[in-house]
Amino acid sequence: MQYLHTMVRVSDLDASLHFYCELLGLEEISRQESEKGRFTLIFLAAPEDRQRAREERTAMLELTCNWDPEEYSGGRNFGHLAYRVEDIYALCERLEANGVTINRPPRDGHMAFVRSPDGISIELLQQGDALPPQEPWASMENTGSW
């Protein structure tokens, strides 16, 4: 058995690509549009998974955008996506500066949670050892749920 990808439905493709690619740092690996099925599929991978994603088609996030308007709910019962990051403080700072709520701040220098534009919970984990506690994160309260 081999893990291939996780699919999430998105309602605003531009907002989702901005969040996942420009803010989180994932990269588009491939895109497929189906006129007949009326959907777009975009496969993303973390930079360190890029080669594996291209060669083996694994370790990817599939964004599915149905062309006909549809409201999605229940992102919470999905669980979450998790990514290891080089500098959790720098990434949370970039996300917050771009209007993303840090639902669970990285008070411990190790873990944070945010939500995508469609409410998908994203866990961010510091690569290696936890960073020393740092403000404003160390004293920041949780916001909402994750």
pLDDT value of residue 89: 98
- Both 62 and 85 in one domain: the answer is no
**Measured between alpha carbons, how far is residue 102 from residues 19, 46, 74, 135 in Å?**
13, 20, 19, 14
Of the candidates 20, 10, 4, the one whose C-alpha atom is nearest the C-alpha of residue 60 is 4
- Residue 73: inside a domain, yes or no? no
pLDDT at 125 over 90: yes
CATH code for the domain in which residue 59 is found? 3.10.180.10
- Both 91 and 58 in one domain: the answer is no
Q: Which of 24, 43, 66 is the last residue of a domain?
A: 66
Q: Is 62 a catalytic residue?
A: no
Instruction: Please state, in angstroms and rounded to a whole number, the distance separating the CA atoms of residues 20 and 15.
Output: 9
Number of domains in the chain: 2
Give the domain extent around 42.
5-66
- Residue 34: inside a domain, yes or no? yes
Question: What's the pTM value of the predicted model, to 2 decimals?
Answer: 0.82
pLDDT value of residue 98: 97
Rg (CA), the chain: 16
- Residue 92: inside a domain, yes or no? yes
Mean pLDDT of the chain: 92
- Both 97 and 48 in one domain: the answer is no
Between residues 67 and 2, the one the model is more confident about: 67
Q: Which of 15, 36, 66 is the last residue of a domain?
A: 66
Instruction: Please state, in angstroms and rounded to a whole number, the distance separating the CA atoms of residues 87 and 76.
Output: 26
Instruction: Please state, in angstroms and rounded to a whole number, the distance separating the CA atoms of residues 134 and 132.
Output: 6
Active-site residue, from 27, 48, 123, 141: 123
